[in-house]
Amino acid sequence: MSESQMQTSSELLSQSGAQGYTLRKDSLGLFDAIAQSVALLSLEMGIALSSSFAAASAGAAVPLAYVVAGLASLCLAYVIIRFTRRIASAGGLYTYIAQGLGPQAGFIGGWMYGGAFAAGASFTLAISSIFLDQLLEHLGLTLHWFVIFCVLLVLLFVLAFFDVRLSTRTQLLLSFIGLLSVLALAVIILARGGASGISFTPLSPAGLAGGWSSLFFAAIFSFTSFIGFEAAAVLGEETQRPRQAIPWAILTAVLVAIIYYVLVSFAMANGYGVAHIDQWARDEAPLDTLATRYAGAFLATLIDLMVAVGAFSATLAGVILASRMMFAVGRDGGLPAAFAVTHPRYKTPWVAILVVLALTLVLGAALGIQLGPFLFFGFMATTASLGILLAYILVALSGIVASIRARARGEGSPLVLAFDILLPLIAIVICAFTIYSSIVPVPQFPLNLAPYITAAWLVIGLGLLIALQLRNPQQVQRFGKILGEHAGE
């Protein structure tokens, strides 16, 4: 980042601070940042909902599919980490895209990415609600899942509105407990020798159901379980030493996810038995099945509770992410200035938080009740993932452009440039193939509507950008320029 860019950013930040559009500086530490990224991954929910789809394609070699998806995530993480080492901004990917591809592309990337996570809070909260509803039924209590949904919505507001440390540390505690419960199941399965002795076939190509093509197709489902690893980036303006803490948080989240997914899926493959992977592929609740089989009803109930808790924690992290990005875009003038207003005491973007929660309520009431929570989850997850993957492609392209510009200024070595081009290209190919596999072959209703909704959201964003460009082109050029006080330290 050049000296003139840093000076412009400093001036803009000073102006916004004077207007009361500031977050609480240095209130978070490294573990808070890690909690944000790990919580949004919701590892318990990820393995519970995606592993069966991966097993249907890759057979017993599901752990290998998670390895491939993890390596693709590391390629994307490399790009994002390179940005976080230079830039501290609540805008996250919105700012990174603007830095490389320009303010207009930054706005569109932020529009797709922030909108996806704002909408995504509804389907993760629905999953949390339905799992809690099932647990209450075991206790003899009958309560409609949407009632639980509304109660959890109030709890979300409390945790997101007050001191951000309340949110991140709640996420850290809940994520830790959830991880331990599922890891305990994995250890029990392996200690008991699985269905027919421990087999290492799931870790080798011999476990593939249909050759290498089946592995990469399964990796598409596995890759969606890694979406959100970069969530800590939006805490750049609230974290101590963010240009060191945020990169570590992102890298830690990816590595933890790889180890967790590979270990747990290896145990699950042995739990069903290599010769009976078809049972896994057909099972909609594999963790519950295995916990009941190997540890009894108590652990099964506990894991169901942890999936609910993990989904709630992911929702909270999604609200934090979406509200911070809305705050940054509002501060830059891409959204109404009200989105950038922070509470005078708690320094949280309360207007943006309320908007995200209102959208969550509307989507849950309108689509969740009509479709049912599980179909609602599939529909919204597909729609949101398409928007996020488009943003991933844009940030990877931005990383390539930024690196080429840096090399033209004499910065970096040819070897670094090679990595800066090769790794983002791998990420782009994986993301593009994931998008393609999500829409071809055409899925059943209502999942077949997801691409059209994503396209409509993109068109709305382009229309808004054109209107902003015509009304105030100078303002548009400022998009992504406010980088936070830590940028360029």
* pLDDT tens-digit readout, 434-473: 888 778 778 788 888 989 999 999 999 999 999 999 999 9
Q: How far apart are CA 486 and CA 121, in angstroms?
A: 29
In this structure, of 197-211, 279-293, 313-327, 341-355, the range with the lowest mean pLDDT score is 197-211
SS3 of 32-75: the string is HHHHHHHHHHCHHHHHHHHHHHHHHHHECCHHHHHHHHHHHHHH
- pLDDT band for 489, please (50, 70, 90 cuts): very low
Answer yes or no: is pLDDT of 368 > 50.
yes
What mean pLDDT do residues 264-284 have? 91
CA distances to 83, 112, 419 from 395, in Å: 10, 12, 15
Question: Which amino acid, residue 106?
Answer: G
pLDDT on residue 21:
67
Residues across the chain: 489
CA triplet 277, 228, 383: central angle to 5 degrees? Answer: 75
Q: What percent of the chain has pLDDT over 70?
A: 94
Q: How far apart are CA 396 and CA 427, in angstroms?
A: 7
CA of residue 257 relative to chain centroid, distance: 12
Answer yes or no: is pLDDT of 86 > 70.
yes
- pLDDT band for 10, please (50, 70, 90 cuts): very low
Q: In sequence order, what DSSP letters do the residues of 346-369 get, joined into one string? A: T---HHHHHHHHHHHHHHIIIIIH
pLDDT on residue 483:
66
Given a contact cutoff of 8 angstroms between Cβ atoms, the answer to whether 417 and 403 are in contact is: yes
Q: In sequence order, what DSSP letters do the residues of 369-386 get, joined into one string? A: HHH-HHHHHHHHHHHHHH
Q: How far apart are CA 126 and CA 390, in angstroms?
A: 25
Cis peptide before 441 (omega within 30 of 0): yes
Segment 262-271, tens digit of pLDDT? 999 999 999 9
Given a contact cutoff of 8 angstroms between Cβ atoms, the answer to whether 480 and 329 are in contact is: no
| Secondary structure element (H or E) that encloses residue 326, with its range | helix 297-332
Question: Which amino acid, residue 105?
Answer: A
Cβ neighbors of 12 (< 8 A, separation 6 or more) are 478, 481, 482
- pLDDT band for 484, please (50, 70, 90 cuts): low
pLDDT on residue 488:
45
pLDDT on residue 375:
84
Segment 152-166, tens digit of pLDDT? 999 999 999 987 887
Higher pLDDT, 338 or 214: 338
What mean pLDDT do residues 392-420 have? 86
Of 46-50, 110-114, 279-283, 295-299, where does the model show the most confidence? 110-114
Question: Which amino acid, residue 427?
Answer: A
What mean pLDDT do residues 90-100 have? 94
pTM of the model: 0.90
Q: How far apart are CA 111 and CA 465, in angstroms?
A: 10
Q: Is 288 exposed, middle or buried (0-12, 13-18, 19+ CB in 10 A)?
A: buried
pLDDT on residue 486:
53
Mean pLDDT of the chain: 87
Answer yes or no: is pLDDT of 364 > 90.
yes
Beta bridge partners of 59: 208
Instruction: Taking each helix axis as running N to C, give the angle between helix 297-332 and helix 164-191, from 0 to 180 degrees, rounded to the nearest 10.
Output: 150
Higher pLDDT, 231 or 1: 231
Cβ neighbors of 468 (< 8 A, separation 6 or more) are 107, 333, 334, 475, 476
What mean pLDDT do residues 179-192 have? 92
Answer yes or no: is pLDDT of 251 > 60.
yes
In this structure, of 68-72, 220-224, 266-270, the range with the lowest mean pLDDT score is 220-224
Q: How far apart are CA 322 and CA 382, in angstroms?
A: 18
The radius of gyration computed from the CA coordinates of the chain, to the nearest angstrom, equals 22
pLDDT on residue 3:
44
Q: Is 197 exposed, middle or buried (0-12, 13-18, 19+ CB in 10 A)?
A: exposed
Hey, what are 311's tokens? 């989904």
Answer yes or no: is pLDDT of 310 > 80.
yes
Given a contact cutoff of 8 angstroms between Cβ atoms, the answer to whether 290 and 185 are in contact is: yes
- The CA-to-CA distance between both ends of the chain, in Å, stands at 11
